[in-house]
Homo-oligomer: A and B are copies of this chain.
Amino acid sequence: MLVVEECMTAQSTTPERKVRKRDADATRGRILAAAKTEFAKLGLAGARVDEIAERAGSNKRMIYHYFGGKEALFCAVLEEVYLDIRNAERALELDALPPRDAMERLVRFTWDYYLANPEFITLVNSANLHKGKHLEGADRLKLRQREFVDMVQRILDRGVESGVFRAGIDPIQLNITIAAIGYYYLTNRHTGGILFQRDYMGDAALEARLAFNIDTILRLISSED
């Protein structure tokens, strides 16, 4: 009710105020993690700011304090998950491997990463539903992306030089294809499982799909059969 009950009892009234030890970075981090989970599960429109606050063990006010609003929080989540995957790819150090091994390792890694981080896929889908506008300001990410394409280009060049790959393959098209064959299978795992009516996410099915993907990519780039 709107009954005004102030003025009196100025001090010492508020009985059960839970106060957390202060740690700005930790709170910010918990909010970001909770937002990642929530946005991944329900999308931007479906996610609830109250729910994110509660999951974070914080409150709504802090979300607005640290991030400015729901959409800005979504931007922060998106940039984080994209940087995470690009950093993980970089950590593979594929330049140190023979070209064929490097490529197979990249296909395997991409698949494993999607499988271990399903939020990434749904978050990217949500970003694209909103025409990518939440990613437009992420300049650091664009740089990382370019570095990644360059790395794939180097692998291709080494493979052509050593005769195992054919020449003229566009690293971006290859990149997109490597991502596509894993991403599609996993992003559509629910509708796929229903429509194809066969084991879709069991160990055997996942193993078979990965093998098919590796085969697809190697046949695409190999210089001979």
Q: Which residues of A contact B (CB under 8 A)?
A: 42-46, 82, 122, 124-129, 131-133, 135-136, 138, 141-142, 145-146, 149, 170, 172-173, 176-177, 179-181, 183-185, 187-198, 208-209, 212, 215-216, 219-220, 224-225
Complex Cα distance, B201 from A203, in Å, reads 37
B132–A193 touching, CB < 8 Å: yes
- With A128-B187, A184-B183, A190-B128 already in contact, the answer to whether A216 and B142 are too (CB < 8 A) is no
Complex Cα distance, B192 from A149, in Å, reads 12
**Residue among A82, A149, A180, A181 with max Cβ neighbours from chain B (10 Å):** A180
Residues of B within 8 Å of A126, CB to CB, are: 43, 129
Complex Cα distance, B129 from A187, in Å, reads 8
B127–A125 touching, CB < 8 Å: no
Residues of B within 8 Å of A189, CB to CB, are: 128
Complex Cα distance, B42 from A193, in Å, reads 25
Complex Cα distance, B181 from A186, in Å, reads 13
B176–A192 touching, CB < 8 Å: yes
